[in-house]
Amino acid sequence: MSEAYQPARILNQGSTQEKAEGARLSNFVGAIALSDLISTTLGPKGMDKILQSPSNLLDSTITNDGATILGSIQISNPAAKILIEISKVQDDEIGDGTTSVVVLAGELLKEAEKLIHKRIHPQTIIKGFRLAKNIAIKKLREIAQDHSENEEDLKKYLKKIAMTIFSTKILTPYKSIFADLAVESILRLKGSTNLESIQILKKTGGLLKESYIEEGFVLDKKLGVGQPKRIENAKILVANTSMDYDKIKIFGSRVVVNSSSKLAEIEEEEKKKMLRKCQKIVDHGINVFINRQLIYNLPEQFFTDHGVVSIEHADFAGIERLSLVTGGEIVSTFDHPELVTLGTAKVIEEIMIGEDKLIRFSGCKEPSACTIVLRGSSKQILDEAERSLHDGLAVLSQMVKNPKTVLGAGCTEIIMAQAIEEAAKETSGKIQIAMESFARALTRIPIIIASNAGYDAEQLVSELKTSHYKGNTTFGVDVMEGKVCDVQKLGIIESFLVKQGMLLKASEATEMILRVDHIMSSAPRRRGMN
Partner 1 sequence: MLRYDSSGKPFIIIRDQDQKERLTGSEARKANILAAMTVANLMKTSIGPLGMDKILVDQDGEVTATNDGATILKNMQVENPIAKLLVELSQGQDDEIGDGTTSVVVFAGALLEESLSLLEKGIHPSKISEGYEKACDIAVQHLISICDKIEFDKEDCSSLIKAAKTSLGSKIVNQYTDKIAKISVEAVLAVADLERKDVRFDLIKLEGKTGGTLGQTELIDGIIIPKNFSHPQMPKQIKNAKIAILTCPFEPPKPKTGHKLDIDSVKKYKELLEIEQNYFKKMTDLVKKSGATVVLCQWGFDDEANHLLLQKELPAVRWVSGTDIELIAIATGARIVPRFSELTPKKLGKAGMVTEKSLGTTDEKMIVIEKCSNTKTVTILVKGGNKMVVEEGKRSIHDALCVTRNLIKDNRIVYGGGAVEISCSVALNKASKEIKGIEQYSIRAFSQALLSVPIALASNSGLNSLEAVSEIQLKQMKEEKPFFGIDCLSKGTSNMKEQNVFDTLRGKIQQFLLATQMAKMILKIDDIIRPTGQY
306-365: contacts with partner 1 (CB under 8 A): 320, 323-324, 329-333, 336, 339-341
* Subset of residues 14 to 33 that bind partner 1, contact rule: CB under 8 A: 15, 20, 23, 27
What is the DSSP code (8-state) at residue 251? T
Catalytic residue among 61, 98, 168, 412: 98
Nearer to partner 1, 226 or 524 (CB): 524
Which of 94, 144, 309, 447 forms a contact with partner 1 (CB under 8 A)? 94
Nearer to partner 1, 25 or 248 (CB): 248
| Contact letters for partner 1, residues 389-418 (x by CB under 8 A) | -----x--xx--------------------
By three-state DSSP, how is residue 326 classified? helix
Catalytic residue among 91, 96, 383, 391: 391
Of the candidate spans 2-10, 50-58, 166-174, 469-477, the one that interacts with partner 1 by CB under 8 A turns out to be 2-10
By three-state DSSP, how is residue 464 classified? helix
* In the complex, minimum distance from the CB of residue 330 to partner 1, in angstroms, rounded to a whole number: 7
**Beta partners for residue 507, in sequence order:** none
Burial class of residue 253 (count of CB atoms within 10 Å of its CB; 0-12, 13-18, 19+) = exposed
Nearer to partner 1, 433 or 457 (CB): 433
* In the complex, minimum distance from the CB of residue 262 to partner 1, in angstroms, rounded to a whole number: 7
Catalytic residue among 40, 63, 65, 371: 65
* Subset of residues 427 to 486 that bind partner 1, contact rule: CB under 8 A: none
Per the annotation, the verdict on 96 as an active-site residue is no
- Rounded CA Rg of the chain: 30
Per the annotation, the verdict on 164 as an active-site residue is no
Per the annotation, the verdict on 98 as an active-site residue is yes
Using rule CB under 8 A, residue 244 touches partner 1: no
Report the alpha-carbon distance of residue 256 to residue 370 in Å, rounded: 51
Hey, how many other C-beta atoms are within 10 angstroms of the C-beta on 146?
10
Per the annotation, the verdict on 91 as an active-site residue is no
- Is the Cα dihedral 513, 497, 91, 319 positive or negative? positive
Q: Cα angle vertex 140, ends 138, 143, to 5°?
A: 110
* Subset of residues 190 to 229 that bind partner 1, contact rule: CB under 8 A: 193-196
DSSP run (H or E) holding 221: none
Using rule CB under 8 A, residue 521 touches partner 1: yes
Using rule CB under 8 A, residue 271 touches partner 1: no
Q: Which long-range contacts (CB under 8 A, 24 or more apart) does 121-127 make?
A: 121/430, 122/24, 122/514, 122/515, 122/517, 123/515, 124/430, 124/431, 124/434, 125/434, 125/437, 125/514, 126/511, 126/514, 126/515, 127/431, 127/434
Hey, how many other C-beta atoms are within 10 angstroms of the C-beta on 192?
14
Nearer to partner 1, 56 or 253 (CB): 253
Which of 25, 73, 225, 266 forms a contact with partner 1 (CB under 8 A)? 266
* In the complex, minimum distance from the CB of residue 119 to partner 1, in angstroms, rounded to a whole number: 10
Report the alpha-carbon distance of residue 258 to residue 103 in Å, rounded: 74
DSSP run (H or E) holding 220: none
What is the DSSP code (8-state) at residue 315? -
Those residues with Cβ within 8 angstroms of residue 494's Cβ, 6 or more apart along the chain or in another chain: 161, 164, 165, 405, 406, 407, 408, 412
Nearer to partner 1, 36 or 85 (CB): 85
Of the candidate spans 64-72, 263-271, 362-370, 463-471, the one that interacts with partner 1 by CB under 8 A turns out to be 263-271
Using rule CB under 8 A, residue 297 touches partner 1: no
* Subset of residues 100 to 159 that bind partner 1, contact rule: CB under 8 A: 121-124, 130
Nearer to partner 1, 134 or 301 (CB): 134
* In the complex, minimum distance from the CB of residue 183 to partner 1, in angstroms, rounded to a whole number: 17
Those residues with Cβ within 8 angstroms of residue 442's Cβ, 6 or more apart along the chain or in another chain: 104, 107, 136, 413, 414, 416, 417, 420
HEC-encoded secondary structure of 41-76 = CCCCCCCCEEEECCCCCCCEEEECCHHHHHHHCCCC
Which of 11, 25, 225, 480 forms a contact with partner 1 (CB under 8 A)? 11
* In the complex, minimum distance from the CB of residue 396 to partner 1, in angstroms, rounded to a whole number: 11
* In the complex, minimum distance from the CB of residue 477 to partner 1, in angstroms, rounded to a whole number: 28
Of the candidate spans 46-54, 77-85, 418-426, 471-479, the one that interacts with partner 1 by CB under 8 A turns out to be 77-85
Catalytic residue among 40, 41, 61, 99: 99
Q: Tell me whether strands 217-219 and 309-311 are parallel, antiparallel or unpaired.
A: unpaired
Nearer to partner 1, 81 or 222 (CB): 81
Which of 172, 240, 380, 473 forms a contact with partner 1 (CB under 8 A)? 240
Using rule CB under 8 A, residue 260 touches partner 1: no
Q: Tell me whether strands 493-495 and 309-311 are parallel, antiparallel or unpaired.
A: unpaired
Q: Rounded to the nearest 10 degrees, what angle do helices 122-143 and 496-514 cross at?
A: 180
Of the candidate spans 76-84, 143-151, 368-376, 476-484, the one that interacts with partner 1 by CB under 8 A turns out to be 76-84
Q: How many residues bind partner 1 (CB under 8 A)?
A: 89
Of the candidate spans 347-355, 365-373, 376-384, 512-520, the one that interacts with partner 1 by CB under 8 A turns out to be 512-520
Which of 33, 62, 72, 81 forms a contact with partner 1 (CB under 8 A)? 81
Report the alpha-carbon distance of residue 102 to residue 82 in Å, rounded: 10
Please list the active-site residues: 65, 98-99, 391
